[in-house]
Amino acid sequence: MNPEDFLIELIKIPSESGNEKEIGDFIVKRLKNNFKIIKQQVNNNFNILATKGNPKILISSHLDTVQGNLEVKKDKEYVYGRGACDTKSQIAASIFAAETALSQGLNNFGLLFTVQEEGSFAGAKKACEILPESVKLISFGEPTNLKIVKGHNGVVHFKIICRGKAAH
């Protein structure tokens, strides 16, 4: 299956935030013969960590889309549908890049696909528990107007405890 047809298959799979199991199963089926797979339970869904060797770099994307339906179609230039840009095109590109790397004898890399990123960030929060210590770099596939960025939006939670004496 070529990358464009694979992308169309991904777009056809409904994957609204909180309902990513079907797309997760589709991706695991594709990757399981060439990668070590970890399916990490996140609520009723699962993150996917697919590695080859001792990964130094991960390519990551989220599996979920925002709510709603869009017709899946393509023209001479573009593929359209729910998630075509954010982030099913990145999922397809990263899988094909990983398979190309394998065919050229490369290893020590992996793919990380997380769930529930369009709302609660539950997948990314949980994924921290399964990241191999060998990983030095994670590249996130997100639409950025074809520009490389050196940062990524996210959420950081702190618990601050202050001790002292009340004074005026």
- Type and span of the H or E element at 159: none
Helices (H), 53-148: 89-103, 122-127
| Cα–Cα dist 147/168, whole Å | 52
| Cα–Cα dist 154/168, whole Å | 38
| Cα–Cα dist 128/123, whole Å | 9
Residue 32 tokens read as 């399981």
Q: Which of 77, 117, 118, 133 is catalytic?
A: 117
SS3 134: coil
| Cα–Cα dist 39/42, whole Å | 9
What would you report as the CA-atom Rg of the chain, rounded to the nearest whole angstrom?
18
4 as an active site residue: the answer is no
Name the residues annotated as catalytic: 117
